[in-house]
Chains A and B, each alone.
Chain A
């Protein structure tokens, strides 16, 4: 036992109880502390303290010091043991509220309305690393895009850019709102997932700012937003759970966007469009990796969830088809399709248009191929991956 703790002449309200409680907090249950006190009522006050706080009062040692054996729990704190909660827990208790993971949580709290309380579906192994990357590489719309190099474009190209930016911005808004809807439902003990979602939302905010600004930065305007695009984006808000929402948004939607952004970067008619497509794609790559990690983790733990996710995607496809979305890229937003062709053709010159159309076809093929690869990487079988990808919305997202 360490040398005695000097309690001087302190009475309970002079600090004796504070001192005792702090000493006990620092001890392991079952170990002892000796207290040197010259206070007149020390014996009775220490005895009461020990009984009420659950420690053993062992009387005085030969030197006249009071000996206390630390009990196995302070009466108010406890339940959650820090060492057990160092990592994302298999199950999280909604009664721990906003207590950070690792804190000792007092029993008896009210349950919070968190309904993502189980690791499969609420956790992604890559979330801590992806969050680190997200915050390490934050770029600025003002500072990091070459706005000063922007020159007026030929009207068909500027119109195409404005239309593509409109489409990108509406998709980015959905990518902001969908995780926003899930975030508040995820138990805070899946901390890095929550932080990642917040970083993702901040990424999307930047994208929205960049795309809308580019649309108007060279004398053009925002373009056309179709009802079909809106219903496609609205259906991303249907899944009630994080895994379902992330599957549709990040694995299928943002995954498909990686190819789209690469295509826009390659065929950008100006340096700002190229730079922002490239920056956005870097951010989206993280969002997609997060989605893959979360869905892969879920399917590893609960392979039967593959069916539910497939049904979610199928239900979405059916709903969009019956809403008159039609098939093929033109069924979604023909102006987006045409604008992509114009960008790929470098304008409306008849000699180059067929080449632009062929390139967009190549884009669609690449999107499908890569979607299948990502679905396989999540843990879907080849047949499901093929049919899920084929049924994906012509709106890309």
Chain B
């Protein structure tokens, strides 16, 4: 079998460590495997359609763009356990009298990078769908468009959101619950100055995706090698810890409806 070419975005130097370790696992499973690191999810999607890679490690927005471009026939191959049932959240400053989304009318709301599903696209969607508030008309968005192209992977923009809320620059801010749990556990001062206002319905996050034409043999070999990774084996554990999961799961396709709708309404598919 020719090598499976995986493409991923180099959102952090540790990406090299992670994919080298995963390549080791594939080697152990006798599955020829190569990886290519790209600098943005847009080029990742292009690389997939150009046939330069077989499988893309895609954010949910990139996954939905791939799915849209191939008429819903994209092959989803697997995902992280932590990415099933993710939530976005709005936080406010501790001591803020705000208690519901609707009360954000006339307020300033901080968002992460404009291409981040968890810190921009979905929060804006929920503000409209559940709070009845339209950006620029009913509230002032304060956007931190940092690391655009990385779809919010670096997490930097969410830290800016927290800082804006903590410093009073914004009345509320949007971020992902995974970030929230992490920074609260670490005692980040800007997080300690905030509290949770609202939690969204669940959605699912990153996905290994391939085009419909991926040979079945390759798809099967990819899944088998991926799912052979065991958190309790020291030689697997490091890569899994760095990638932030304990178990690879089969695709859960049910958690993308809200994001698809949000991307449609925000014109995301036309870009």
Q: In the bound complex, how far is the Cα of B188 from the Cα of A12, in angstroms?
A: 12
Q: Which of B56-64, B69-77, B126-134, B232-240 contacts A (4 or more CB under 8 A)?
A: B232-240
Are A78 and B237 within 8 A (Cβ)? yes
Note all chain A residues with C-beta closer than 8 A to B244: 75
Tell me if A11 and B195 are in contact (CB < 8 A).
yes
Stretch at the interface among B80-88, B143-151, B153-161, B257-265: B80-88
Name the one of B94, B177, B182, B199 contacting A13, with C-beta atoms under 8 angstroms.
B94
Query: Which residues from 177 to 201 on chain B have a C-beta closer than 8 Å to any C-beta of chain A?
Result: 177-178, 180-182, 184-185, 191-196, 199
Nearest-neighbour CB distance to chain B for A76, whole angstroms, equals 7
Chain A neighbourhood of B49, CB < 8 A: none
The CA-CA distance from A293 to B148 in the complex, in Å, is 60
**When the two chains form their complex, are residues A79 and B196 in contact, meaning their CB atoms are under 8 A apart?**
no
Contacts of A12 in B (CB 8 A): 180-181, 184, 195-196
One of B14, B17, B199, B246 near A44 (C-beta < 8 A): B199
Cα A17 to Cα B86 in complex, Å, equals 17
Complex interface: stretch among A48-56, A200-208, A226-234: A48-56
Given contacts A12-B196, A13-B195, A78-B237, contact A108 B242 (CB under 8 A): yes
- Nearest-CB residue, chain A, relative to B99: A40
CB distance from B233 to the nearest CB of A (A): 11
**Alpha-carbon gap, A108 to B14, bound state (A):** 8
* 0/1 interface trace, chain A 1-44, chain B, CB 8 Å (1 if under): 00000000001111001100100000000000000000001001
Q: Provide the residues of chain B in CB contact with A73, threshold 8 Å.
A: 231, 237, 241, 246
The answer to whether A108 and B238 have CB atoms under 8 Å apart is: yes
Q: A283–B87 Cα gap in the complex (Å)?
A: 65
Query: How many angstroms from the CA of A78 to the CA of B84 in the assembled complex?
Result: 23
A376 → chain B closest CB, angstroms: 40
Which of B17, B185, B194, B232: most chain A Cβ within 10 A? Answer: B185
A54 and B234 alpha carbons, distance in the complex (Å): 17
Is the pair B241, A52 in contact by a Cβ cutoff of 8 Å? no
A72 touches B237 (CB 8 A): no
Tell me whether A107 is interfacial, beta carbon within 8 Å. Answer: yes
Residue total for B at the interface (Cβ-Cβ under 8 A): 33
Q: Are A52 and B82 in contact (CB under 8 A)?
A: yes
For A44, give the chain B residue with the smallest CB separation.
Answer: B199
**A385 to B209 CA separation, bound complex (whole angstroms):** 66
Question: What residue of chain B has the Cβ atom nearest to residue A106's Cβ?
Answer: B241
Contacts of A54 in B (CB 8 A): 81-82, 246
Asked if B181 and A17 sit within 8 Å, CB to CB, the answer is yes
Query: From residue B126, how far is it (CB to closest CB) to chain A in Å?
Result: 14
Complex: how many Å from CA A174 to CA B17?
Answer: 42
The verdict on A188 contacting chain B, using a C-beta distance below 8 Å, is no
What is the 8 Å Cβ interface bit string for chain A, positions 41-72, against chain B (1 contact, 0 not)?
A: 10011011101111000000000000000011
> How many angstroms from the CA of A141 to the CA of B89 in the assembled complex?
68
Cβ–Cβ < 8 Å partners of B193 in chain A: 13
Interface centre among B191, B193, B238 (most CB of A within 10 A): B238
Closest A residue by C-beta to B178: A52
Taking a contact as CB atoms under 8 Å apart, the answer to whether A108 and B241 are in contact is: yes
Report A258 CB to chain B, min CB distance, Å.
Answer: 44
Contacts of B177 in A (CB 8 A): 48, 51-52
**Chain B min CB distance to A74 (Å):** 10
Contact with B along A120-136 (1 / 0, CB 8 A): 00000000000000000
CA separation between A13 and B93, bound complex, in Å? 11
| Contact assessment for B199 and A41 in the assembled complex, using a CB-CB cutoff below 8 Å | yes
B195 contacts which chain A residues (CB < 8 A)? 11-14
The complex places the Cα of A98 from the Cα of B238 at a distance, in Å, of 18
In whole Å, how far is A133's beta carbon from the nearest beta carbon of chain B?
Answer: 36
Report whether A107 and B241 are in contact in the complex, using a CB–CB cutoff of 8 Å. Answer: yes
Instruction: Contact check, B185 vs A17: say whether CB atoms are below 8 A apart.
Output: yes
- CB < 8 Å: which of A11, A44, A79 contacts B237? A79
Contact B246 A79 (CB under 8 A): no
Q: How far is the CA of A14 from the CA of B196 in the complex (A)?
A: 11
Who on chain B is nearest to A95 by CB? B238
The interface residues of chain A lying within 8 Å CB-to-CB of B84 are 51
* Shortest Cβ distance from B246 into A: residue: A54
A52 to B183, CA, bound (A): 12
Please report the C-alpha to C-alpha distance between residue A51 and residue B255 in the assembled complex, in whole angstroms: 15
A51 x B199 contact (CB < 8 A):
no
Which residue on A lies nearest to B194, using beta carbons? A13
B interface, CB within 8 angstroms of A? 14, 17, 81-82, 84-87, 89, 94, 177-178, 180-182, 184-185, 191-196, 199, 231-232, 234, 237-238, 241-242, 244, 246
Q: Which residues of A contact B (CB under 8 A)?
A: 11-14, 17-18, 21, 41, 44-45, 47-49, 51-54, 71-73, 75-76, 78-79, 106-108
Q: A73-B237, A76-B241 are in contact. List 15 more A-B contacts (CB 8 A).
A: A12-B184, A12-B195, A13-B193, A13-B194, A17-B181, A17-B185, A41-B199, A44-B199, A48-B180, A51-B81, A51-B82, A52-B181, A54-B82, A75-B241, A79-B234
Instruction: Offer 20 A-B interface pairs, CB within 8 angstroms, sorted by A.
Output: A12-B180, A12-B196, A13-B184, A18-B185, A41-B196, A48-B181, A51-B84, A51-B85, A52-B82, A53-B181, A54-B82, A54-B246, A72-B231, A73-B231, A75-B241, A76-B241, A78-B237, A107-B242, A108-B14, A108-B242
